[in-house]
Amino acid sequence: MAIGPGSWDLDDPLDWFDPYEDYPPEPRENEFLLYRHELRLKRMRASVLESARLIEEQLAASGFRFKPAMLTLTYREDAEYSSKQVSALLQHIRKWLKRHGAPFVAYIWVMELTKRGRPHYHVIIWLPKGLSLPKPDKQGWWPWGHTRIEWARSAVGYLVKYASKLQGQGNEVQSTKFPKGSRLHGNGGLDTLRRRVRRWRLFPQWVREQFNFDDDPMRAEGGGFTSRLTGKVCESPYRLQAHSEKWVWCLFVLKEPPLQLGF
């Protein structure tokens, strides 16, 4: 837990709230709360859906015919989790597709927890028409458990349904028991332009209002964002007031009403 600096003031909730409690003080005017697990799931949903739309746009423009396959990866009870395992699997799949003449590999994966708190993955892979992926556990590509493959009629539709389900489960079970250091999602296969488009669309609203697409903004040293094109720097309109493992308390420092975060 960390709280902002300042002298003790009984009229200031920052000075008297218990930092060991799970709930924060009541926000005042121009202040608002962000719950970490909800924000993380919102970012995941936006990233997954934007990636899926851009992948399908790229595939449609490629002239090749693809079909999305849904791959589910589970763990045995005695298997230990590592964040590198899904990357190792995808490397095997890339090599296999390259041997079979695929022009490129496009995929999106998301992590979910079972009711018992065990992680498992859902992976959408766009395969060239006429090509079927072998079961990764039978190939030795996923030695930590079992796999299942099925065709997905609509990759975007499936991911919308899944992301909505996971966001709806943004409770303590789903949000606090993910393995330490784990990522909730990943993607690959986008070309340079579409990666840039994806990055731009996922920026917070205030960043997109302060910069143009051609600025290609990036995070600035010390906070805020800077334009790769002109060097212009814009500070964030938000200031951290206090935070815990479960929530972040922010202050909107401008005179206008708080902006939507745009995640």
pLDDT digits (tens, 9 = 90+) for 142-156: 999 999 999 988 777
What DSSP character marks residue 257? P
Mean pLDDT: which of 114-118, 146-150, 161-165 is highest?
146-150
223 against 252, higher pLDDT = 223
| % of the chain with per-residue pLDDT over 70 | 81
Angstrom CA distances, 56 to 22, 68, 154, 202, stand at: 42, 10, 10, 18
Q: Quick one: pLDDT at residue 114?
A: 81
Mean of the pLDDT values across residues 127-148?
95
Measured from the Cβ of residue 169, the count of other Cβ atoms closer than 10 Å reads 14
Q: Quick one: pLDDT at residue 146?
A: 96
The band of 192, judged by pLDDT with boundaries at 50, 70 and 90, is very high
Q: At what angle do helices 192-201 and 36-62 cross, to 10 degrees?
A: 150
Question: Please, is 55 exposed, middle or buried when counting C-beta atoms within 10 Å of its C-beta (0-12, 13-18, 19+)?
Answer: buried
Domain extents in the chain = 37-201, 205-257
Range scoring the smallest mean pLDDT among 91-95, 182-186, 215-219: 182-186
Report the SS3 class of residue 199: helix
Q: Quick one: pLDDT at residue 259?
A: 44
Amino acid found at 220: A
Calculate Rg over the CA atoms of the chain: 22
**Fold of the 37-201 domain:** Alpha-Beta Plaits (3.30.70)
Q: In the structure encoding, which two tokens stand for residue 207, read together?
A: 């960043």
Question: Please, is 34 exposed, middle or buried when counting C-beta atoms within 10 Å of its C-beta (0-12, 13-18, 19+)?
Answer: middle
Q: Quick one: pLDDT at residue 78?
A: 92
Alpha-carbon gap, residue 158 to 141, rounded angstroms: 25
Amino acid found at 254: L
Q: 154, 81, 153: which is closest to 121 by C-alpha? A: 81
Q: Quick one: pLDDT at residue 25?
A: 65
Q: Quick one: pLDDT at residue 22?
A: 55
In the predicted structure, residue 17 carries a pLDDT above the cut 70: no
Mean of the pLDDT values across residues 185-213?
95
In the predicted structure, residue 220 carries a pLDDT above the cut 90: yes
Range scoring the smallest mean pLDDT among 3-12, 85-94, 129-138, 186-195: 3-12
Q: Quick one: pLDDT at residue 14?
A: 41
In the predicted structure, residue 200 carries a pLDDT above the cut 50: yes
Measured from the Cβ of residue 100, the count of other Cβ atoms closer than 10 Å reads 12
pTM of the predicted structure, to 2 decimals: 0.79
The band of 18, judged by pLDDT with boundaries at 50, 70 and 90, is very low
Contact indicator for 152, 70 with CB cutoff of 8 Å: yes
In the predicted structure, residue 173 carries a pLDDT above the cut 70: no
